[in-house]
Amino acid sequence: MPLIVQKYGGSSVADAARIKNVARRIAAARERGNEVVAVVSAMGDTTDELIELARQVTDQPDRRELDMLLSTGETVSATLLAMALRALSQRAISLSGAQAGIKTDATYSRAIIEAVRPRRIKHELKDGQIVIVAGFQGITTEEDITTLGRGGSDTTAVALAVALGAKLCEIYTDVEGVYTADPRLVPEARKLVEIGYEEMLEMASYGARVMHNRAVELGQLHHMPILVASSFKEAAGTLIHGGANMETRKKVRGIAHDLNVAKVTVLGVPDRPGIAAALFEPLAQAGISVDTIVQNVSHQGLTDLSFTVARSDLAETMRLTQPVAQGIGAQGCREDAALGKVSLVGAGIQSAPGFAARMFRALFEAGINIELITTSEIRITCLIKEAQVADAVRALHRAFELETD
């Protein structure tokens, strides 16, 4: 029997009616003669609500306890979905990440999957069950529960598809696929028929929340095609793959934006060797990823050093950076949380000149000031004011004529 791995996101299981809708879809897939493993996210905004609850109890929640708490969200939806399937006279069983064999390291809140041992899943499939797996969670060798980072249920799904040898991983969500920009921001954004792993990885890493970036990375590593489609409508989705038959296309694939951005500037840093290491080692140890680093030209032996982190990491970044800044004799630290990033992504960018200039002109004409610029071979990113991000995305979408195929 062919095996299907599906994933349903938070808004697709937001209430009882939607859980029943998902159950009907899974039952239909089963009745078409497939074995089905379905990964689910927590219902609606549950994860945000649990984080807020923890914050009301303490402003520095213990990381282990927080992961244990957050994992409950996915457990709730998995159990309810299994019940809804049974109510449709299907045989179904829910499994936690641990029961599903998702083994992770112990980096709470952003744990990495080290191995998948789907022994129990295989056993249940063989027994004729539909298997519902709680996404986003795993277990360490010490048997502590971990979570994979926000949006991590996608990663659970791709990891299981790989481990179970599925041909495809199906991600069902509240939009019909991957678009040239967030369709909530740009109504004329165009749904892509397909997109390569590399481009999707850049889109996801720079804010296109429709896919968890690590899920894309896993797909690329294991050549697992990923279909992104709607859980509400029967409509063709977007295939993420590495195949050769990519549609003939423009050089810009899409615009990603990210509002989860903050900038830290360390002022008046003495310009001598070892300073950058002193500043960034503690952040690396805390698992905080630093995105853009800019060191200004030094004046009289002093320089300003700016870098960006996720806004959700800002408080901890400041807590770690302030004492180091003092220790190295810097003049102080400044933070700016009201920033966002807008990125132009496309494999063709690397081979053709002029994209950056066109991007900067479009932003200039929209009255938008650029604070920092970073690039990769297939991406150009500008750091701008948060309040201008929506305008920037629309201006770039127009400037690169992404609404037309």
Q: In the complex, which residues of this chain contact Mg ion (CB under 5 A)?
A: 9, 151
Looking at the Cβ atoms of 10 and 254, the one nearer to ligand ASP is 10
Number of residues in contact with ligand ASP under rule CB under 6 A: 13
Q: Does 214 bind ligand ASP (CB under 6 A)?
A: no
Tell me if 97 contacts ligand ASP by CB under 6 A. no
Give 195's strand partners. 240
Within residues 146-185, the interface with ligand ASP by CB under 6 A covers 150-154
Please identify, using beta-carbon distances, which residue of 137 and 306 lies nearer to ligand ASP.
137
Which does residue 208 touch among ligand ASP, ligand ADP, Mg ion, none (CB within 5 to 8 A, set by kind)?
ligand ADP
Residue 40: CB minimum distance to ligand ASP, A: 9
Given the structure tokens 């923890």, which residue do they identify?
Answer: 54
Q: How far is the CB of 41 from ligand ASP (least distance, A)?
A: 3
CA–CA gap between residue 316 and residue 53 (Å, rounded): 19
Is residue 110 a contact point for ligand ASP (CB under 6 A)?
no
Give residues with Cβ within 8 angstroms of 368, minimum separation 6: 384, 385, 388, 391, 392, 395
Nearer residue to ligand ASP within complex by CB, 84 or 215: 215
Give yes or no for residue 40 binding ligand ASP (CB under 6 A). no
Give every CB contact of residue 28 below 8 A, 6+ residues apart in sequence. Answer: none
**273: its two tokens:** 């060797």
Q: Tell me how far CA of residue 303 lies from CA of 14, 82, 295, in angstroms.
A: 50, 59, 7
Integer angstrom CA distances of residue 212 from 95, 209, 264, 283: 22, 6, 25, 22
User: Shortest gap between Cβ of 158 and Mg ion (angstroms)?
Assistant: 12
Instruction: Take residue 238 and report the two structure tokens written for it.
Output: 């977007």
* Residue 239, SS3 per DSSP: strand
Residue 42 binding target from ligand ADP, ligand ASP, Mg ion, none, CB below 5 to 8 Å by type: ligand ASP
Nearer to Mg ion, 10 or 333 (CB): 10
Contact residues: ligand ADP, CB under 6 A: 9-12, 41, 151, 173-175, 178-179, 181-184, 208-210, 254
Confirm if 296 and 305 have CB atoms less than 8 A apart: yes
Specify whether the CB–CB gap between 342 and 384 falls below 8 A.
yes
User: CA–CA separation, 398 vs 366, rounded Å?
Assistant: 11
* Residue 73, contacted partner among ligand ASP, Mg ion, ligand ADP, none, CB below 5-8 A by kind: ligand ASP
CB of 318 to Mg ion, least distance (A): 28
231: contact with ligand ASP by CB under 6 A: no
